[in-house]
Homo-oligomer: A and B are copies of this chain.
Amino acid sequence: MVSVVILRLGHRPQRDQRVTTHVGLTARALGAEGMYLAGKDQSVVASISDVVSRWGGAFFVTDGVSWRRCINSWKDSGGRVVHLTMYGEPLPVMEETIRRLDRVLLVVGAEKVPGDLFGIADYNVAVTSQPHSEIASLAVFLDRIFQGEEFSREFPGGTIRVVPSRAGKIAEET
């Protein structure tokens, strides 16, 4: 199965803290391996690491990366780069191709991304051509690429776990 790592671009400290934290937590919950953050923000790293330590799994977060260097070394090691953008080709057309890849660096931008990214990426992929949310695009992308496998994923090593229920709020802590 393809493995996916996120590269979060265009993060502005303070202003984007919550949205970038949502990007990281969504990536973790829906099956990605980790997130590189272009820019420094230790509070985002701390929030996500805190969830990982309590809820389990091996998701990594690394801030302060240079996006160009990150993409170049990813490509040099044989991985492919997919850029999520409303200007790209529709996900339903692209998903079969992407599912067959080995390692994907998934670039998730904020409002503005550098123009040359469109040419640098191997694939530019759109979750509809309407303006909405990079968190939403990421979620639909991962759900489709992993074909729902994230729903049965285990997160070993956590101390808290939800027990799904019809009308209650049941969590087990160890």
Asked whether, in the complex, the Cβ of A28 is within 8 Å of the Cβ of B135, the reply is no
Residues of A117-174 at the interface with B, using a CB-CB cut-off of 8 Å, are 118-119, 121, 124, 126-133, 135-140, 143-144, 148, 150-151, 153, 155, 161-171
Whether the Cβ atoms of A164 and B129 lie closer than 8 Å is: yes
Bound-state CA distance A156–B90 (Å) is: 19
Collect the chain B residues with CB atoms within 8 Å of residue A64's CB: none
Give A121 to B165 CA distance when docked, in angstroms.
Answer: 13
A157 to B6, CA, bound (A): 35
* Interface residue tally for chain A (C-beta within 8 Å): 56
Judge whether A88 is part of the interface by a CB distance below 8 angstroms: yes
Q: How many copies does the complex hold?
A: 2
27 contacts across the A-B interface (CB closer than 8 A) = A22-B132, A26-B133, A29-B130, A29-B131, A29-B132, A30-B136, A55-B130, A55-B131, A86-B162, A87-B164, A87-B169, A87-B171, A88-B164, A88-B165, A89-B164, A89-B166, A90-B151, A90-B164, A91-B151, A118-B167, A119-B167, A128-B150, A129-B162, A133-B135, A136-B136, A137-B139, A140-B140
Q: How far is the CA of A167 from the CA of B18 in the complex (A)?
A: 29
